[in-house]
Structures are given as C-alpha cells and as structure tokens.
Amino acid sequence: MDTQIEIVFRNMRPSFRVRDRIEDYVDKLDRFDQRIERCQVVVQSPRQHLDRTLPHHVTIRAALPSGEIVIKERRPRASALFAVKKAFESLTHRLEASARARQEGRIPDATVKTVADSRSNRRALHGPPET
C-alpha cells in the first residue's frame, strides 16, 4: 500500500540524508501493518545550530483506518539520524504489539489510539505520580 509521507524539519536545515532514511523506514513499515494510510514525521531541534549533537525531538503520527499511533522520541545529545531510528523502532514495537493484540482478540480494530512517550510509559508502568 502506498503510504502518504509528510516530513517536517523545525529549527534545523532540511537534510536529504535524514529524509531518505525516514522514507526507507516508512517503506519498511508495511511489513508490520499494511493498513497505514499516512505517516507524518516531525524532526526538530530546540534551536538552529551547527552542532549536530544537540537534543533532537522526533514525533511520528501514523494514521490507520481505525485510529492513530503517535510516537514522541526525545534524545538528548543525539544526532537527528539516531533519534529518527529510535522513534521508528518504538513505532515498530507499537505496531507489532497492536497486531498481536488484534489477533488474540484482546482489542478490536477500532480502538487503536496510542501515544508513546517516555513520560507516559513511566506513568503506565508505575501509575500516576503521588501527591
């Protein structure tokens, strides 16, 4: 299936190398879930700078017919390529878990609405912070 890809660079110069890598990752997503209709990837740096090891934030929104999966990856002192790689690894794991759950009948197709973030994962594992 042809997936629509939207790639946005914020506070940094667009990189053909990063763009090509993102397109490769999106093409490989069909192995995990062929129902992905649209994929938006936002790569941003806190400010424009020549130093490539500034923190990079990557947000991926994968639209499925039954919902949307959002991955937010924050990598301090990492290159944009590394942050993109880790974000797509998280998305791949999320798609695999969703497919397994659908096959086992634990969730129906219409209930995919996931936001993966390092902070939300901690909350999901350990509960809300104590006050």
Q: Domains of the chain by range and CATH?
A: 4-126 (3.30.160.100)
Q: pTM for the whole thing?
A: 0.74
Other Cβ atoms within 10 Å of 77 Cβ, number? 10
Name the residue with higher pLDDT: 117 or 36. 36
Report DSSP state, residue 104. Answer: T
pLDDT tens figures, 101-120: 777 877 655 444 555 554 44
Name the residue with higher pLDDT: 20 or 66. 20
